[in-house]
Amino acid sequence: MQSAPNPKNRLAVVLLSGGLDSATALAAARRDGFQAITLAIDYGQRHRVELDAAALVSRQLGAIEHRLVTLDLRAIGGSALTADIAVPKNRSEKAIGDGVPITYVPARNLIFLSIATGLAEVVGARDVFVGVNAIDYSGYPDCRPEFIESFARTANLGTRAGTDAIAGKGGGFSIRSPLAALGKAEIIRLGMKLGVDYSLTTSCYDPRSDSSPIPIACGTCDSCQLRRRGFAEAGVPDPTRYS
């Protein structure tokens, strides 16, 4: 499912959050010869500035179009990212790696991949890229390879394009996670090689805005800590502005 048989000019939908991982996934899609339509979801996240970052990243990496879909997950709540629950700060490395964090948004990737599949069907794309990776799936169940594979089967059973493919007419959907096996430092090294401008990305769960389109990161939430360590381990200067 991950190999790309020279898809020169083939269209892909790339889920883009404005963060480091999905920017690198977009760069990998471009490397593999895909024309990319990027998709960001405004789900009422407290770190909404990432939506501006997603639009900048989309342009920097040569996507042909950027779409924004609004979905009000605050009507569901249940996460520090969508409800009035404090984002944890200064947690130890052990605590960060242990269990599903409070920043888990129930069924988020299930929902986002479903919307991306709908968009792919409409625009005629059969490949959907997502930036899930080895770091994520220590904590987030919806980043694990078993989930991604099961989702692809379900998406093909639940769409016109997919059932046509099952009946032998045309290709079905592939869910591509080019970062699946990579740690944060490896993702950063790959992105640097592929020309990602990480100064345009934002990972912070609790950022502070000033006049710049890219906000100031808190430096202490789980996501900031993983990002900082990733740059340090990769031996790459971290372009993030921390407060």
Q: How far is the CB of 102 from a second copy (least distance, A)?
A: 11
> Toward a second copy, which CB reaches closer, 74 or 229?
74
Q: Could you tell me if 4 and 171 are in contact, meaning their C-beta atoms sit under 8 angstroms apart?
A: no
Residues of 70-94 as b/e, b for ≥16 C-beta within 10 angstroms?
A: eeebbebeebbbbeeeebbeeeeee
> Toward a second copy, which CB reaches closer, 1 or 110?
110
Q: How far is the CB of 101 from a second copy (least distance, A)?
A: 10
Q: How far is the CB of 210 from a second copy (least distance, A)?
A: 29
> Toward a second copy, which CB reaches closer, 47 or 144?
144
Q: Could you tell me if 239 and 198 are in contact, meaning their C-beta atoms sit under 8 angstroms apart?
A: yes
Q: In angstroms, rounded to a whole number, what is the distance separating the alpha carbons of residues 195 and 27?
A: 8
Half-sphere exposure at residue 146, Cβ-oriented, CA atoms within 13 angstroms: 3
> Toward a second copy, which CB reaches closer, 8 or 169?
169
Q: How far is the CB of 195 from a second copy (least distance, A)?
A: 28
Q: In angstroms, rounded to a whole number, what is the distance separating the alpha carbons of residues 15 and 143?
A: 13
- Tell me the longest C-alpha to C-alpha distance in the chain: 55
Instruction: Give the residue carrying structure tokens 């130890």.
Output: 92
DSSP 8-class letter at 224: H
> Toward a second copy, which CB reaches closer, 67 or 89?
67
Q: How far is the CB of 15 from a second copy (least distance, A)?
A: 13
What H or E segment, with its residue span, contains residue 37?
strand 35-42
> Toward a second copy, which CB reaches closer, 80 or 190?
80
Q: Could you tell me if 195 and 216 are in contact, meaning their C-beta atoms sit under 8 angstroms apart?
A: no
Q: Applying CB under 8 A, which residues contact a second copy?
A: 67-73, 75-78, 100, 104-111, 114-115, 117-119, 121-122, 141-142, 144, 146-147, 150-151, 153-155, 157-160, 162-163
Q: How far is the CB of 199 from a second copy (least distance, A)?
A: 28
